[in-house]
Amino acid sequence: MNGYLTTHVLDTARGMPAAGIEIELFRPEDGPRTPIVSAMTNADGRTEAPLLSKGALQAGVYELVFHAGPYFDRTLGPAKGQRFLDRIPIRFGVDDPDAHYHVPLLLSPFGYSTYRGS
């Protein structure tokens, strides 16, 4: 198996990469909710290394959780109450463990989107 998993985060409201966002990766099918990987985005909005390196990706269901609340606190200032977005889960399936899966997050304070990138 040569597949691997990457991500990046873009702050679409500010028009720039989102640095300093904690990301956790889970395998919901594996029982207890314990992250299998945890990483932080760098100045380019990417992790320093793939979340799962070549050969570590397996077929099945994964979930990325992006901790956006602390990022918004840093970039927008402390919230005056509950933030609309705090932790953003993205659950996705892998059917080809030999492929590259890239799951980006396009983020703003009141919405987000994702897609399977390249």
User: What pLDDT shows up at residue 51?
Assistant: 98
The number of residues in the chain equals 118
At 53, the amino acid letter reads S
User: What pLDDT shows up at residue 1?
Assistant: 67
Distances (CA, A) of 114 to 1, 2, 46, 57, 66: 25, 23, 15, 20, 12
User: What pLDDT shows up at residue 29?
Assistant: 79
Nearest to 58 by CA among 7, 108, 3, 118: 3
- DSSP secondary-structure letter at 44? T
User: What pLDDT shows up at residue 32?
Assistant: 73
What pLDDT tens digit does each residue of the chain (118 aa) get?
689 999 999 999 999 999 999 999 999 877 778 899 999 999 999 999 999 999 999 999 999 999 999 999 999 999 899 999 999 999 999 999 999 999 999 999 999 999 999 8
Q: What is the CATH number of domain 4-114?
A: 2.60.40.180
User: What pLDDT shows up at residue 118?
Assistant: 87
Residues 6+ apart with CB under 8 A from 76: 109
